[in-house]
Amino acid sequence: MSSTTKALTLLSHFSTKRPEIGLSQLCRLAGRDKATTYRHLQALETAGFVEQNPATKHYRLGPAIMHLAQVREATVPRETGAINVIKELADATGETAHVTVLSGSTLYGLSACESPHHATRAVIDINIFPLHATASGLCALAFGPEDLFQTALTKMENFTSATPATPEALADLVAHIRLTGFGQADQIYEDEIQAIAAPVFDHTGNFAGAVAVASVASRFTSELEKTIKAELTIAAHEITRNWGGVIPAQIEKAWAASTTHSNTLEPTS
């Protein structure tokens, strides 16, 4: 990994839940020493990608990020094409809905909407989605570029006791997803959270990201699963259309079979 890449990856640790990060905390998050992290932060600060809060001396995203975000949204309006869809999805399912986008070999969170139907609900508080341990990530492995699988194998962190821990276990999950058209994650990233995701495509005809619903496990039933899958197919069609794409015929066929019959979440080990 180049020095430039290492510096830029520091930006992925900032989020709406963590808008400011001190040097020592960022060292822990990135797994790097203080001298290297500080040097990278100085380079990012010079370019306007981060700035220091004068009061706290913590780092936050800089004005250059805002400019690039505005350019990105103006030229590739992904969030605009998804936000209303996931609001409707959250309302229809009563659970948290969110959208991710694939950039290179990284799956980023784009937007999320929590349903007001329940006091206890899933909270999406990550920016980068592990490919092997989230419903959206598994969708990317099943329907995205083939080399993503090898990328996932290099980052197979165990998040829970159910997280797939071997290449064979992960391959089995991906194979099942290709048959059903849905990525399913039964408490493999967080205990007590179950999620289902559907792939979305853009004008290139390629996998562009995923739309997903995350539910508190104690609320998850076969009836809720049917509802989520039915609503996900609607949402995936709408987002794909808004992004200029078309759902591939084989996925349409898999969805039709999967939503006709009750499919229980398969074990991950």
Express each pLDDT in 68-99 by its tens digit. 888 877 776 888 899 999 999 999 999 999 99
* Beta-carbon contacts of residue 111 (< 8 Å; ≥ 6 apart): 79, 82, 83, 86, 98, 99
Any bridge partners for residue 196, and if so which?
184, 213
pLDDT, mean of residues 89-110: 95
Structural domains of the chain sorted by starting position, each given as residue range(s) with its CATH number in brackets: 3-69 (1.10.10.10), 76-260 (3.30.450.40)
Instruction: Using alpha carbons, list the distances in angstroms from residue 232 to 51, 97, 110, 156.
Output: 39, 9, 17, 27
Q: What beta strand segments (E) does 79-143 contain?
A: 96-103, 106-113
pTM: 0.77
Percent of the chain predicted with pLDDT > 90: 77
Contact between 44 and 11 under an 8 Å Cβ cutoff? The reply is yes
Structure token pair of residue 185: 């994650």
Terminal CA-CA length for the chain: 32
pLDDT at 264 over 80: no
Confidence category of residue 16, pLDDT binned at 50, 70, 90: confident
